[in-house]
Amino acid sequence: MGMLDGRVVIVTGGAKGIGRAYCRGLAEHGATVVAADLSDAGETADEIMSLGGEAMALRVDVSDAAQTEEMAASAVATYGRIDGLVNNAAFYMAATRSLMEDVSPDEWDLCFAVNVKGTWLCSRAVAPTMKAQQSGKIVNIASMTVNDGTPRFLHYVSSKSAIWGLTRAMARELGPHGIAVNTLTPDYIPHDEQYSSVQPEVDVAIRARRAFSRTQVPEDMVGTLIYLMSPLSDFVTGQNIWVNGGSGFN
């Protein structure tokens, strides 16, 4: 028996990286997983199915309202309900690291369209189903860059700052309907080779300031996500939970 047996959870950005680890972990605890991504999340779904779980992959651009509505409708058509949503998709790796004068206004808009508007649109798309059920768990993903005020990354840091406020306002609005909304804030997780090319020195510096002084991996995030998706957290809403190995004590 898994803690999430019978629960249907959508994970955006579920094709790779931390999102894929969320999908795998949710399935290991019994959830049926909808891996939604701009790119093909078929490998994530296949892996879950090969391990005896239930999953499907969906193509969705979270910044497109109609596509987010279709995502929610497909989940309901296939599995009959939606118990959880992890707003994990983000414009992140492709984001320009540069002085603020050198970020183009179009890139600023794209960053906010995916990271902020996308989180709102996906939540808005699942809300009617969760309201009808009088239950649901929405987990939004922020970033340690908000606390750090990481320089040369203004659009991304600003977009992730918005997640903290969005979570609180949404928690108040959806609370009367039995829906919990929380933020999960990861530290730096250099999970593929792209990271070493973008910011080679960053992981060394970030490891040094942790109580647990090692590189963070996607699987480090999973236990807290399972908690936020499970009945164990039923009176927890509007909160932000850091998972960072004790990097400062926020």
Ligand X SMILES: NC(=O)c1ccc[n+]([C@@H]2O[C@H](COP(=O)([O-])OP(=O)(O)OC[C@H]3O[C@@H](n4cnc5c(N)ncnc54)[C@H](O)[C@@H]3O)[C@@H](O)[C@H]2O)c1
Please give the residue ranges that form the binding site for ligand X (CB under 6 A): 12-13, 15-19, 37-39, 60-63, 88-93, 114, 118, 141, 143-144, 186, 188-189
Has 22 been annotated as catalytic? no
Nearest approach, Cβ of 38 to ligand X (angstroms)? Answer: 4
Task: Indicate the residue among 16 and 155 with the shorter CB distance to ligand X.
Answer: 16
Cβ partners under 8 Å of residue 178, min gap 6:
130, 133, 134, 135, 136
Task: Indicate the residue among 133 and 199 with the shorter CB distance to ligand X.
Answer: 199
> Crossing angle of helices 219-229/17-28, nearest 10°?
50
Rounded to the nearest 10 degrees, how much is the dihedral formed by the CA atoms of 97, 103, 106, 108? 70
Nearest approach, Cβ of 113 to ligand X (angstroms)? Answer: 8
Among all residues, whose Cβ is closest to ligand X?
A: 17
- Residues 22, 79, 92, 156: which is the catalytic one? 156
Where does residue 178 rank: exposed (0-12), middle (13-18), buried (19+ CB within 10 A)?
middle
Nearest approach, Cβ of 101 to ligand X (angstroms)? Answer: 23
Q: Which residue has the tokens 């998709």?
A: 89
Distance of CA 173 to the CA centre of its chain: 20
Task: Indicate the residue among 197 and 235 with the shorter CB distance to ligand X.
Answer: 197
* Catalytic residue ranges: 156
